[in-house]
């Protein structure tokens, strides 16, 4: 089953790759409009704040905690599924053999 899935994914990637190459060549041969002159943005302020505000620091800390918890939950689910899969394979091999 996994070989069939891998073959389908490879075939799909090949088709998408060929289509993208053909599209890129067609776009390269198309005429390019002349770029318009743009205005220059002023330089950044010299008196820009060097430290984030306390609200920004609190929000950043909250986002880091949420990201850490998300990574921890992902690792726990991954290892649980890995153990289940190993036990299932072992049980299946014992029933066959």
Question: Residue written as tokens 């690792």?
Answer: 75
CA distance 78 to 72: 10
pTM: 0.45
Query: What's the pLDDT score for residue 3?
Result: 74
pLDDT of res. 61: 96
Cβ-contact 52, 60 below 8 angstroms: yes
Q: What's the pLDDT score for residue 50?
A: 78
Q: Residue 76 has which token pair? A: 């726990």
Instruction: Supply the pLDDT for residue 79.
Output: 97
**Cα separation, 91 vs 93, whole angstroms:** 5
Q: Distance between CA 90 and CA 77 in Å, rounded?
A: 20
Return per-residue pLDDT of the chain as tens, 97 residues: 567 667 767 677 776 665 555 555 555 566 666 667 777 777 766 776 678 888 999 999 999 999 999 999 999 999 999 999 999 999 999 998 6
Query: Given this model, what pLDDT does residue 96 score?
Result: 85
Q: What is the pLDDT of residue 21?
A: 57
How far is the C-alpha of 27 from the C-alpha of 32, rounded, in Å? 9
């Amino acid at each position: 089953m996994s070989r069939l899935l891998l073959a389908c994914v490879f075939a799909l990637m090949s088709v998408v790759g060929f289509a993208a190459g053909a599209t890129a060549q067609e776009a390269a041969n198309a005429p390019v409009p002349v770029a318009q002159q743009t205005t220059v943005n002023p330089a950044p302020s010299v008196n820009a704040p060097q430290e984030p505000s306390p609200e920004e620091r609190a929000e950043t800390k909250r986002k880091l905690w949420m990201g850490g918890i998300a990574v921890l939950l992902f690792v726990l689910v991954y290892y649980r599924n890995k153990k289940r899969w190993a036990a299932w394979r072992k049980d299946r091999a014992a029933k066959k053999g």
